[in-house]
Structure formats: structure tokens, C-alpha cells
Structure 1
Amino acid sequence: MTQDSSRKFVTLGMFIIDELVYDAGRITREQIGGGGTYATIGARIWLPPHEVGMIVDRGYDFPLDIQTKLEKYGTDMWYFHDDQSRVTTRARNTYIGDSRGFEYLTPRRRITPRDLEGTTLARPVILHFICSPTRANAIMSEVLEIPEWTPKAIYEPIPDRCVPEELPSLIKVLPRIDILSPNADEALSLLSLTGPATQEQVEAAADRFLELGVGPEGNGYVIIRSGALGAYVASRTRPGRWFDAYWTKDDAPHIVDVTGAGNAFLGGLAAGLHFTDGDPYEAMLYASVSASFIIEQEGLPSLAVSEVTQSETRPGELWNGELPVERLEKLRKRIQQ
């Protein structure tokens, strides 16, 4: 089988049905969740359904209304794996002040590169995964065993395994990772750096990762997502650069729920690589716009159809009532000022 380049982006991240619990114990209705889901939507904002995708494990209890919601974004971007012997993966997200807790309520099933083989998602151009450094090594070893496939790898470390004990495993896998993207707290924790996540600390962390050798022959990129500070991108051959988030601290009414924003950022980044001839610096703009649509509400953004056609986005697609390309141009003008 030769590489099928029709899939520009596929994630190994999971689909999860989320339960959200807030300070007063209020539980929202069940909500579509999972880092893989948000990453896929982040890419879908820019790419047609047949160019993105993920595996959705569908247990015997999979709600029909959730399937209907997923398919509104496109039917052929989801590859449903049915297992009537188990329940769908569920988790609880607890928010107390600025702290967030996460726990699985049911057993989870990890997705591997071999799971993509024989499906419509096989051998994408870009492969995204969210896991521990130890598992990242296993994933990339499995990729090497699949002939005629050399995807760009975007690796997002999972928060609870961003600990100093995982650094040796991270160092081992870094040469096979094209883009490493922890958030600021995760980056500092992996490197045993103390103190608040200031711009100086983030830049120091990125430099350290680059010294350890990211990407084949050290030609990879580090992108550290830093919340209100924006996101920082650096490589060994180009100066590091900060990019502001689309919504800033002055846009508080637009910032409703940041859950999944980092995942969607990386999906948008992957799509941006397609439109910018593989330039991560330019792709950062697409990433920021994707994240901006995620944080405007609880859950996933809305998708509607308009008669407007734009060359850089899907014809006639409005996300939360706006064309992504219009936000892209606003952001581009802002950073040029």
C-alpha cells in the first residue's frame, strides 16, 4: 500500500464523553470531549472532512444525539470502531477556581498507528498524538514498522506524565518528532524548571528542548502553548517568536471555556502547515484562529453554511457565525502592526 496523501491530518487522540463538575457541584449535561476530538475539529475548521480524521470508539451505550452532532461536521472524518462488549470512554472534568481535575470513569482504549491500517485513515501526511513520552516512543516505533509512510509527527505530551522521570524517554523520542508542543507548565515540569511560567522561562525551556535534539538531524520545532502569554515557537535555524492568542485579556466575554483549546490549536497548526508549505511560524496563525473558536462556548463550535466562498477555507462554512479566513486576516494584520 502506498501512502494516501488525501488525509492531511489524523490524530491518535481519544474520543471521550465528558462530565463537567464546577465549584458548587453543578454537573452539566454530557458533552463531547477528548483531546483527539478537539484536535480534529481544530483541523476541520480549515480542511474538508475527507482530509482529516480520527477513530471514535463506540461502545454499546454510545448516545445517538452525540453521533448526530459529530456527523454535522462531516460523516467521513470519523471512523467508528464498534465494540458492543464495552462502554464508551467517559471522564469527569472538575473545575475548582483555577484548578482543573480529570479522571476517567470507564476503561479507556488507546489508539495506535496499526489501528489506522486498513481504514480510510491510513497513512496520513501529519500524525498527531497525545500521550506520555514512554508511549510516544512506542508509537513512533510502530510508525517505523509501516512501510512507505513517513508522516510529520506532532507530539503533545499528556499533562500527568510531564514529570522529570519521563525526561529520558522524551530525549529518546525527540529525534523522531517534527513538532514538540507541551504547554508552559508541562514544559517547565519536564525540565525540572521552577518558578512561574514567564516568557523568559518558556524561552529557556524551548532552548533546552532544542539542545536535546528535536526532529531528524535536529531540524524540528518546539511550540510551547502559554495561555494568556500566547504561544512561543522556536527552532535551531530560526529565531524564536511569540504569537498572541486571537482573543486577549481584553476580550473576556469571548472566553467561556478553554477546555480543548490547546488540542484544537495543534489541529489548526497541522492544517496551517498544508496552506503555508510546511512553515510552522506561518501556521501559528491558523492554530490561534482554531483555538479562538473553541473557547467561545462550552463544547464544540457551531458550523453553518453560507453562500460566501473563500479560497483559504471551506466554501460557505461559518464557524460560530464567522469565516475562519476573516479571523486569519485580522490576526495577520494585528501582528504586522
Structure 2
Amino acid sequence: MPTEVIEHRAAASATPRRLTTVRGQQDILFRAAARSGGLTVLTIMTLVGVFLFVRGFDAITDAGTAFITTEAWSPNEGNFGIAAVLFGTVTIATIAIVLAVPLSIGTALYISEFAPRGLKRSLITIVDLMAAVPSVVYGLWGFLWLTDAILPIAEWISTHFGWIPIFDVDGFEPGDPLSTTTVFTASAFIAGIVVGLMVTPIASSIMREAFSQAPVGEREGALALGATRWGMVTAVVLPFGRGGIIGGTMLGLGRALGETIAVYLVISPVFVIQPNILQTGTNSISSLVALRFNEASEFELSALMAAGLALFLMTLVINFGASMVIARSRSGAESEG
């Protein structure tokens, strides 16, 4: 065979073949529907951001950078900012997540790994129903029952850990019979507990779904090698469900940052930065909007829209950051079978 023919055939075999996919009508319709849904969501989010920016533009240009650093809220007097409410929003959300994440992981692990088969379906239904309870119900529960029940705990924390600045309470002296527990009411601590119990079912459902997808072969392999049930959970289930843990936590954080009614019913609004989480008085951006919206002047309404824009952007940054973290730690990527 001539050398030219051999070289031509070798070159032809080295060229990668192009694979063509023939899509049916159902695949085309599904792809079009999926793309349309994604574009619709992005369009709506963009329009929301543009709306908030346009409506809040007057307040933003009037306040300038002081809008981020000012604690007071008196737009009609030209002295306003979101420093206090932004700090309160982050404080309440942080307390909620610190409470919700261990509860969510524990609940999800128990349902997926340890609960009896007959009880598992009932627990799943109960957790899903708790996620559907309106926030006003949690707010009323926190206002009417939790506040009184949590006061002794808050007092005990301040008595024994008051040397830590965040647990110190102005006007409270441990052991003084004249000290009153009213200084512990309507605090960021109570609001954070209410919001934490609200976001726990949502985060727990997401984590449970991730844990239940852990490969059966890796589970059985770990048990066959002599691992205990808990050893199998720590070596296989938790690493596999890492993305679900992060996703559930960030979804809960987004819910905690934007919670309105439950926080509004529990807190006592103040417009100063309140670093003492056990002490009466805190605030949040969402509750500020709910409190002032009906009676706001035109300029104050612009300031409220600017505050809403700040919350919108903060939530977007958190969600985008979470998606990047999840993309780098896909479920099962680092499991130890």
C-alpha cells in the first residue's frame, strides 16, 4: 500500500468524529420551557432590582455614603441611614442560623439514617408541614409564649457569661433583687430563636434529600469494613451531603435575612446599633419597611426603597456565594467509601 494512502488514513482516523444528536419534539419543547423559565426568573429579578434602584434613587443621592453609616432614621429631617437596621438584620439572621443549622443537620440525619421505617414517612410529613406554617403564626407564638419562657434562660446567660460583651445587658445586675427581667424582652436573641425555628424545617428538608442520595454501595462498603452506623454517617453520608448542607444553610440564611412579620411582632424597634443581643431593642430592614410604609412621605418611601435595595443586593451576594461554594463541593465528590 502506498505511503501516501497510509498517511491519509492515519490523518483521517486522528480527526475526531462529530456526533450529531437528533432531538425529538418533546426534547425541544422541554429545552424551550426550561430556558424560558430561567430567563423569566432572571428578568423578574432584574426588574425588581431596577425598580428598587429607581424608586430609591432620590434618597441614595441625597444621603450619599452616609446612607450606610448613619444609625438614625429621620428621612424627613435629612438624617437617615441603614447602619442600625442592617446590623440588626445581620444579628438576627446570624442567631437564627447558629440555632437552625445544628437542628437541621440533626433532624435530617435522624430521619434519613436512624428513624424506624414506619416513623420516617410521618416525620417527613411533619417537617414539610412545619415549613408551610405562615410566619405570622411563628411571630404570635414568639410574642405570646416564647418571650416569657426564654427570659429565665436569657437572664442565666447574662449572669454567667455577661463578661462577654454581646451577653452583657445594661441595667441588669446579677443577684440584685430590684433588677427586672423586662430588660431581656423584645431582643435580637428572642427574634433570632423565632426565625431560627422558622428556617429549620426548610433547611432540614434540603439536607435530608441530600443525605438520602448517598450511594448505597459506599454505605454498605463502610459497614462491611467494620464501621459503626455513626462511622458510616461521618465517612460517607456527611461528605456526600456537604453541598446539601451548604445549600440548606444559605437558603435558610436568605429566609432569615428577609423575614418580616415574625420579627416585627417580637422586637422593640430601635435605631441604634445594639451589640448586646440579650438586651431589649433591635431592628431589621424588612421590619422597618413594614413599620413605616403606610405612613411614609414621598421622600421617606424613597428611603425605604433604598433600604430594600440594600437587602436585595445583600441576599443576592449571599446566594451567589453559596452557589459558588456548592459548585466546588458537589455532593459525593469527597466521600470516603
Calculate the TM-score normalised by the size of structure 2.
0.23
Calculate the TM-score normalised by the size of structure 1.
0.23
Q: Which has the higher helix share?
A: 2
Larger radius of gyration: 2
